[in-house]
Amino acid sequence: MIRIKNLWKKYGSVDVLKGLDLEVKDGEILVILGRSGVGKSVLLRHIIGIEKPDRGSIEVDGVMISDLKKNEIYSAVRNMGMLFQGSALFDSMNIGDNTAFYLEQHGDPATGKPFPPEVIREKVAQALTMVGLEGVEKKMPSDLSGGMRKRAGLARLIVYRPSILLYDEPTTGLDPITAQQINELVVKTQTELKGTSIVVTHDINSALYIADRMALHRDGRIVYVAEPKTFMSLDDPIIQFMRESLTHRPSKENP
């Protein structure tokens, strides 16, 4: 369970998070929707401990992440992983080395002991196969399309099998077919890892396909949280715009 209470964050004179409250249930995919620039990505960076709030609290599985010092953060968030909006692959490393990076740096998340090289190679191959990129270990990020780079970023995320997965705009900049492939991978990954996922997006079609619940981020706060059918029926101008912008009505059961 992730519990966020009265979260505030200011950059310069601009309040980005303004007393935000949110609870994320174990085992669900929660999709956070909202206009660009409202602080959705900022919220993810606070959950994983990259940023500290000005005030408020973030509790993850009973640990108060927001109270920890920098040298305590890693051990508290080692069961988390994040797919960044631009995939954040290392340009100077091939895809195999990118995927293996966490395992080589940190070893077994459960024990902290190093993995033998042959185990790392096996785990990398499994992760790449899971996202449909088998055999691309020697390719460089510049050799891949945008959709393939998203897949490679996802492989790097799932290779150490985190129980909490954060996705920052996973379908941004992708064509509709590739975006739907990424949506299917998000659902597949959730099923495979039996984890908890938070997905930030402004893509309503993607949200309806992957979400167990949907939340609307507006004016620095979460103003609604509901299951998709209820969420889409709410009388709100932003949600009305989302309804009108639907190109189709996808779901995990009826893509």
Q: pLDDT digits over 166-208, tens only? A: 999 998 888 888 889 899 999 999 998 899 999 999 899 999 9
- Give the confidence band of 248 by pLDDT, cuts at 50, 70, 90: low
Residue with tokens 């305590």: 72
Rounded CA-CA distance 51/42 in Å is 8
Burial (CB count within 10 angstroms: exposed 0-12, middle 13-18, buried 19+), residue 9 = buried
Q: Domains of the chain (ranges plus CATH)?
A: 1-79+163-221 (3.40.50.300), 87-161 (no CATH)
- The pTM of this model reads 0.90
DSSP β-ladder status, 164-168 and 196-201: parallel
Report the amino acid identity of residue 37. Answer: G
Q: For the chain, report the end-to-end CA distance as a whole number of angstroms.
A: 29
Instruction: Answer whether residue 2 shows pLDDT above 80.
Output: yes
Q: What are phi and psi of 63, to 5 degrees?
A: -105, 130
Instruction: Answer whether residue 99 shows pLDDT above 90.
Output: yes
Q: pLDDT digits over 208-239, tens only? A: 999 999 999 999 999 999 999 999 999 999 99
Say if CB 49 and CB 65 are below 8 A apart: yes
